[in-house]
Amino acid sequence: MFYREAGDFSTSYAEDSQTFPIKFDRYRYYLVLFLAIFVVPFMVNDYWVNSLFLPFLIYAIAAIGLNILVGYCGQVSLGTGGFMAVGAYACYKLMTSFPDVSMLIHVLIAGVITAAVGVLFGLPSLRIKGFYLAVATLAAQFFLVWLFNRVPWFYNYSASGQISAPERTFLGFNITGANTQAWATYLFCLMFVIFSAYVARNLTRGSVGRKWMAIRDMDIAAEIIGVNPLRAKLTAFAVSSFFIGISGALFFSIYLGAVEVGEVFGIQKSFLVLFMIIIGGLGSIFGSFAGAAFLVLLPVALKIVGVDWLGWPTDIVAHLQLVIVGGLIIVFLIAEPHGLAQLWRVAKEKLRLWPFPH
Amino acid sequence: MNKKLKLSTLALGAALAAGPAMAELVFPSLSYRTGPYAANGIPFADGYADYFTLLNERDGGIGGEPIRMIECETGYNTEKGVECYESTKGEGSLVYQPLSTGITYQLIPKVEADGIPMHSMGYGRTSAKDGAVFNNIFNYPANYWDGASVAIKHLLDVNGGSLEGKKIALVYHNSAYGKEPIRTLEELSKKHGFELSLLPIDHPGQEQKSQWLQIRREKPDNVIMYGWGVMNQVAVQEAANIRYPMDQFIGIWWSGSENDVRPAGDAADGYKALTFHNVGSDFPVFDDIQKFVVDAGKAAGAGDQIGTALYNRGLYAAMLAAEAAKTAQGIHDTKALTPAQMRDGMEALEITEAKMADLGLPNFGPEFKVSCENHGGNGLVAVAQWDAAADSWNLITDYVEADEEVLAPLIEEDAAAYAAEAGITPGC
């Protein structure tokens, strides 16, 4: 009834090709942005930000990055944790080497450095694909973690081998370190999320994204119609790693504050982000958000229901969570391989016809 | 996404609104009963919980104020540790004991900013001993560097006072925890002239074949281990497999529980581990635990860990927290405590033999006194040895003091580095 194209006329090409062609969608999008920027920051406290919003926002960036590579370009990667580590360590080295520079610049440069590393490890994708590429990126994962553990220069020769974020600012507000305001760290991450989602959405709609999808769907056919696989694959690796690097930098500097590479950026992290895009939906920006929200909120919600309300032992709840996440992944792979994003798409399709389906 | 977020925020809001009654002493327990470190996390968490249950049941809490313990599962994972910290700090938590060096590092700046004390007993950042820099962090009665130093002292004793030309290997968990003693051991190797080789083992520690192959090849005179969780059992088993002499194999106190040596059976006989408290259940307090906790059906977990090395350590941690709370109640002449008052209590804590005997724990740990300059106690550590036939640990030395001559400058240097990094002006 409200959700329909009828009566919504486009009078220019720009209007015709906008991201949300349906008026209702568009206003919903503006409303979400408004709430996220102008309402949430006034309502959050430390708990909300550190336990829910920061991990959700940061994982969403990582999921967008990985979705570009896996969902749009079809190059399976298990190196997410390693690339996040590159972002984190690049950010750490920059923060400690140039203390007076704004955090915004550090995080962006950390993304660029990760993009370069990503391209390097993307080179094998020109020769191999599928499982073999997954194994090659797995090597990147283990190599990078080993490197950051092994070479003391990366962690500034600290005794523990940990990196910890010193206090740094953005526009005069403390963004990292212990004395931060919940709303400031939230807004800082939100800014990167909006930027990443905006860039990713528009890249995937344009010619670059179409080339990625052509490679994904059939690389030989894509080559025949004039897509350069070298450029398409390497740009996918670069853009994907750029976002993953940003998320790694934020993950370390803003969310955790201190990081031990083997524990935080291990292989589990690669799988977690991969699960996010599988559950959320491959090849969908909305799916990246949905998957990240799902896997960040589910453990917290389970803990609150199981431990705080029902009073179950903590270990039972922790084990139950593994069972539920594992079960859900299987259910999604069988029942809805396109993830939450497909459910959303189907719902929208139904809404258009509602209340008069054929 | 939005709908889901809103629903769960509503749920969360309701959970948080249920809020605490402030007339309780809140002790959060950041435990781990799942994952590769659960074998060691469970006994500690049980001991910690049972002692507080005992105080509630027998004495009605501390100084008449009931204790509320909130357990939160971290899985030894820093992200979950942060979540646990944030979700419990609003409940009036008095002291955090995360039982993880990684989480401790994470929380040090946070607790300093929030003004909540943290007690990392025998783990965490060693230089937290310097209370002038680390106001809210305590690591009495002993720290990692004390452990490394006492291990070397014990080897000196065994080898007739000289380690000249000996080869010592350090097998360590490749994390902040395992890397802690390296600096100390390097200094000690210069002082005593032994050769140190480093063998890192990655999380979770089930893969150690290549490290033990290297030990087999190099034949070090002694192996020191800084392991945790499943890594310990695997290491003891691997050592047994290559027939490494067990009495030349020394673990830190986190590598010295029954769960670590039992899987290797008789082959583990003679394995040594450091400890900063006594072992076994031959103390009067265990009768009370049996009477008030176990028989009342209130034992934490499965109730099968009582008297094990790590259970005793959890109990000891809870006892020190309770004593600090008592001290704080005395100082501030109040029953209900704030985290800041608790901090004062911890800083004024003094453990004497008479006090421990009074608590039903005679001769359980060394005497020590905390002060503003020294948040780390005296660093007294003993060596225990596993007797596989009797299925028990036995203390084979007295409590030995660490080599302060080597440690003090290292602690000073590391604390100064932290102060410079975090912009703290040290002062008491």
Chain A residues within 8 A of B184 when measuring between CB atoms:
none
Q: Which of B2, B87, B179 sits opposite A47 (nearest CB)?
A: B87
Asked if residue A352 has pLDDT above 90, the reply is no
Distance separating alpha carbons of residues B360 and B278, to the nearest angstrom: 13
B377: confidence class by pLDDT, cuts 50, 70, 90: confident
CA distance A209 to chain B (A): 24
Among A254, A260, A261, A269, most B C-beta atoms within 10 A, so best to mutate, is: A260
Helix A229-250, helix A182-205: angle, nearest 10:
170
Determine the residue of chain A that is closest to B183 in CA distance: A159
Asked if residue B4 has pLDDT above 70, the reply is no
| B1 Cβ under 8 Å from any chain A Cβ | yes
Q: What are phi and psi of B61, to 5 degrees?
A: 100, -155
**Helices in B266-365 by DSSP H: which ranges?**
284-288, 309-332, 339-347, 353-358
Segment B287-316 mean pLDDT = 90
* pLDDT tens digits for range B70-105: 999 998 988 889 889 988 988 889 999 999 988 998
Task: Determine the pLDDT at residue B230.
Answer: 92
Chain B residues within 8 A of A179 when measuring between CB atoms:
113
Task: Determine the pLDDT at residue B225.
Answer: 94
Chain A residues within 8 A of B143 when measuring between CB atoms:
none
Determine the residue of chain A that is closest to B75 in CA distance: A318
Determine the residue of chain B that is closest to A302 in CA distance: B8
Determine the residue of chain A that is closest to B145 in CA distance: A159
Distance separating alpha carbons of residues A97 and B53, to the nearest angstrom: 50
| B206 Cβ under 8 Å from any chain A Cβ | no
Identify any residues that bridge with B200 across adjacent strands, giving them in sequence order: B172
A351 to each of A55, A290, A357, B141, how far by Cα in Å?
32, 19, 9, 66
Interface of B with A in 355-384 (CB under 8 A): none
CA distance B269 to chain A (A): 32
Percent of the residues in chain B that have a pLDDT greater than 70, as a whole number:
95
Distance separating alpha carbons of residues B235 and B220, to the nearest angstrom: 15
Asked if residue A314 has pLDDT above 90, the reply is no
Task: Determine the pLDDT at residue B8.
Answer: 46
* pLDDT tens digits for range B348-368: 999 999 999 999 999 898 899
Distance separating alpha carbons of residues B103 and B119, to the nearest angstrom: 12
Amino acid symbol at B142:
A
Residues 6+ apart with CB under 8 A from B284: B360, B361, B362
CB contact under 8 A, B4 and A318: no
Q: Which of A46, A177, A266 sits opposite B109 (nearest CB)?
A: A177
Determine the residue of chain A that is closest to B19 in CA distance: A308
| B207 Cβ under 8 Å from any chain A Cβ | no
Task: Determine the pLDDT at residue A16.
Answer: 83
Segment A12-40 mean pLDDT = 88
Task: Determine the pLDDT at residue B15.
Answer: 42
Two structure tokens written together for B88 = 């419990």
Task: Determine the pLDDT at residue A358.
Answer: 67
Determine the residue of chain B that is closest to A179 in CA distance: B113
Mean pLDDT of chain B: 88
Q: What is the pTM of this model?
A: 0.89
Q: What are phi and psi of B277, to 5 degrees?
A: -150, 170
Domains of chain B: 2-142+281-379 (3.40.50.2300), 144-275 (3.40.50.2300)
Asked if residue A110 has pLDDT above 90, the reply is yes
- The answer to whether the CB of A65 falls within 8 A of the CB of A244 is yes
| B72 Cβ under 8 Å from any chain A Cβ | yes
Cα–Cα–Cα angle for B25, B28, B32, nearest 5°? 155
- The answer to whether the CB of A163 falls within 8 A of the CB of A88 is yes
Chain A residues within 8 A of B101 when measuring between CB atoms:
160
Q: How far is CA B85 from the centre of its chain?
A: 18
Asked if residue B427 has pLDDT above 90, the reply is no
Q: What are phi and psi of B68, to 5 degrees?
A: -120, 120
Task: Determine the pLDDT at residue B6.
Answer: 44
Asked if residue B14 has pLDDT above 60, the reply is no
Mean pLDDT of chain A: 90
A356 to each of A345, A350, B179, B375, how far by Cα in Å?
18, 10, 67, 73
Asked if residue A356 has pLDDT above 80, the reply is no
CB contact under 8 A, B203 and A149: no
The DSSP letter of residue B279 is -
A321: confidence class by pLDDT, cuts 50, 70, 90: confident
A1: confidence class by pLDDT, cuts 50, 70, 90: low
Neighbours of A194 (CB within 10 A): 14
CB contact under 8 A, B113 and A178: yes
- Strand B167-173 to B195-201 pairing: parallel
Chain B residues within 8 A of A299 when measuring between CB atoms:
80
- Written as one string, the DSSP assignment of A110-149 is HHHHHHHHHHHHHGGGGT--THHHHHHHHHHHHHHHHHHH
Q: Which of A48, A289, A318 sits opposite B75 (nearest CB)?
A: A318
B18: confidence class by pLDDT, cuts 50, 70, 90: very low
Residues 6+ apart with CB under 8 A from B368: B140, B141, B350, B351, B377, B378, B380
CB contact under 8 A, A315 and B175: no
Report which of residues B203 and B314 the model is more confident about.
Answer: B314
**Helices in chain A by DSSP H: which ranges?**
13-16, 23-34, 40-43, 46-48, 54-66, 80-97, 103-122, 131-150, 182-205, 207-217, 219-224, 229-250, 261-264, 267-280, 285-303, 314-335, 339-353
CB contact under 8 A, A263 and B112: no
Residues 6+ apart with CB under 8 A from A206: none
* pLDDT tens digits for range A123-167: 988 888 888 999 999 999 999 999 998 898 998 888 778 888 888
Q: Which of A47, A48, A293 sits opposite B4 (nearest CB)?
A: A293
Region class of B78: left (phi > 0), else alpha (psi between -120 and 50), else beta: alpha
Beta strands in B163-288 (DSSP E): 167-173, 195-201, 222-226, 249-251, 272-275
Return the CA Rg of chain B: 21
Task: Determine the pLDDT at residue B351.
Answer: 92
A14: confidence class by pLDDT, cuts 50, 70, 90: confident
Among A314, A340, A344, A345, most B C-beta atoms within 10 A, so best to mutate, is: A314
Determine the residue of chain A that is closest to B83 in CA distance: A51
B1: confidence class by pLDDT, cuts 50, 70, 90: very low
CB contact under 8 A, B105 and A179: no
Q: What are phi and psi of B273, to 5 degrees?
A: -145, 150
Asked if residue B385 has pLDDT above 90, the reply is yes
Task: Determine the pLDDT at residue A166.
Answer: 86
CB contact under 8 A, B110 and A257: yes
CA distance A273 to chain B (A): 15
Task: Determine the pLDDT at residue B254.
Answer: 93
Is-cis flag, bond preceding B141, omega within 30? yes
Distance separating alpha carbons of residues A263 and A268, to the nearest angstrom: 9
Task: Determine the pLDDT at residue B17.
Answer: 42
Chain A residues within 8 A of B18 when measuring between CB atoms:
308
Two structure tokens written together for B188 = 């000690």
Amino acid symbol at B125:
R
CB contact under 8 A, A297 and B8: yes
Q: What are phi and psi of B65, to 5 degrees?
A: -95, 125
With the C-alpha atoms ordered B59, B65, B71, B74, is the resulting torsion angle positive or negative? negative
Count of helices and strands (H, E) across chain B: 15, 14
Task: Determine the pLDDT at residue B50.
Answer: 94
* pLDDT tens digits for range B177-204: 888 899 899 999 999 999 999 999 988 8
